[in-house]
Amino acid sequence: MPMASSARELLRIRNEPEHLNWQAVACALRILNAGLQKYAENEMRSFHALIAKNVGPAAQCNCMFAPGTKPNPHGRATSCVWAKELKKNHTFKNKTHIPWDQSDCSKWHDPVVGYWEVAKLYMSGLGSDPATVTDPNTTDVSPLLSLFKFCKHFKIRTSSLKAVTDIRNKWAHAPKHTLSDSDKKAAFQDIKLLMNDPELLTSKDVQDCKPEIEKAELADVLILEENECKKDKTIERIISFLIIPLLHLILIPWRLPSFLQRFLTAFLLLAKVGDRNGMVSDEGMVGCNHFSALRVVYCSSFDKQNICFGPINYVNRRTNKPLNKTKSTKIYLV
């Protein structure tokens, strides 16, 4: 019973506005993370090359320790030239608090993978198995934000990093997967503010994310069960291939003048049965009405990426009357 109850609760909240706000912020964070991953990779490769130059081409860390264990010898006074350089570039005043245990020092000098093992010293929130974080593509947005905050190589405003970190934490820990309208608005404002930081304005990878994040913010995506859509389309096929031909045979020859017969014949052959509008859903299906608790959303056209271009017409589900909320907008699948 508890499992069945949970499933019903999930289906109930799927189309609630506050859950859609949560989904929109999730989409924005995912897009932002993709841009920040590429930016971090480029910058950390440069930083790693600089550290390698400072310590010398032959220098390696030969300190004896097992990754993932504490205490770590690098936190105390050490003769390791790599550890000394990395400490200089960490914002922590107490260098023993640096998460030395989540980085494999035997790889620091490696020209291929060393840059990301170094990056992990400046990250928080890598979880219980930091060894699985091997490159930017395996790193979440939260550790990336802490990398930018704790590594002196990066000059991004700390206030912007903190604001987006708070957003991410609020989104991740929302117990019912919901966010208020004001939370969503604030989230997108802070994400845009971070992307407009002077240090990130020069990153094409980050700036290229702006259009997609804009689409996520403007999204009006509601969810309809796939089987409901298939049911609607099955009914449409029955009407198309059975009922209409019968009406054609019964009505046209006996009831209507010849010019109307020709007109209706052409209409029934060429016209699409039912509403010409499409449905936006998490399955990317087109051709069904799009239901929510209080409204039906009709979208007039879609492009190849299933982005709906307006107008979007809202109709009260119970009364079938317009809600006077027609607008031209884009619907983007999140």
pLDDT bracket for residue 144 (50, 70, 90): very high
Written as six digits, the tokens of 43 are 């910058």
pLDDT at 169: 96
Written as six digits, the tokens of 242 are 């059975």
The per-residue pLDDT for range 20-56, each reduced to its tens digit, is: 899 999 999 999 999 999 999 999 999 999 999 998 8
Q: Which residue has the tokens 């700036």?
A: 207
pLDDT at 64: 66
pLDDT at 80: 87
The per-residue pLDDT for range 220-279, each reduced to its tens digit, is: 544 434 343 444 445 555 555 565 566 556 655 555 566 666 666 666 555 544 433 333
**For residue 124, with 0-12 CB atoms within 10 Å meaning exposed, 13-18 middle and 19 or more buried, which class applies?**
middle
Instruction: Give the CA distances from residue 166 to residues 28, 150, 160, 187, in Å, rounded to whole numbers and listed in that order.
Output: 14, 16, 10, 9
If you write DSSP's letter for every residue of 225-259 in order, what string do you get?
-HHHHHHHHHHHHHIIIIIHHHHHHHHHHHHS-HH
pLDDT at 253: 54
Taking residues 102-120, report their average pLDDT. Answer: 94
Number of H helices, E strands in the chain: 13, 4
Q: Positive or negative, the Cα torsion across 154, 156, 162, 167?
A: negative
